[in-house]
Amino acid sequence: MPEKRWGTIASSIKGAIRRGDLYAGARIASEKELAVQWDVSPVTVHRALAELQREGWVVRKRKLGTVVADRSARPTAKIGLVFSNPSDLPQGAYAIGIEDSLGEDLRMTALSTDNNPVREAKCLNLAASECSAIICAPTGAPENTALLKKIAASMPLLFIDCAPDGIEADSVMTDNIGSMILGLQHLHSVGHSRIAYFMGFPHLISSVKDRYAGYLQFMKKEIGMPDPERWVRRFSNTMPTDQHFDRVEAVLAELLSEKDPVTAVVCQQDAMMAAVLDACIHLGISVPSELAILSFNDVPAKAQPLARTVHRLVQRPVELGHMAGRAVRLRLDTPDHPIQTIRLLTDFFPAIEHVPSEVVENFVAARMAKLGKSL
What pLDDT was estimated at residue 362?
A: 61
Q: What CATH class does 2-73 carry?
A: mainly alpha
Tell whether the model's pLDDT for residue 18 goes beyond 80. no
Angle between helices 317-333 and 91-102 (to 10 degrees): 40
- Average pLDDT value for the chain: 85
β pairing state of 65-68 and 58-61: antiparallel
Distances (CA, A) of 354 to 300, 307, 309, 351, 358: 20, 12, 8, 10, 11
- Superfamily holding 77-173+318-344: Response regulator (3.40.50.2300)
pLDDT of residue 375: 38
Residues constituting the chain: 375
Average pLDDT over residues 282-310: 76
The CATH fold assigned to 176-316+348-371 is Rossmann fold (3.40.50)
Instruction: Find the mean pLDDT for residues 209-231.
Output: 95
Identical fold, 77-173+318-344 and 176-316+348-371:
yes
* Residue-wise pLDDT tens digits, 68-112: 988 665 457 899 999 887 666 577 788 888 887 886 678 888 899
| Percentage of residues of the chain with pLDDT beyond 90 | 48
Domain residues of the chain, as ranges? 2-73, 77-173+318-344, 176-316+348-371
Q: Give pLDDT, residue 104.
A: 64
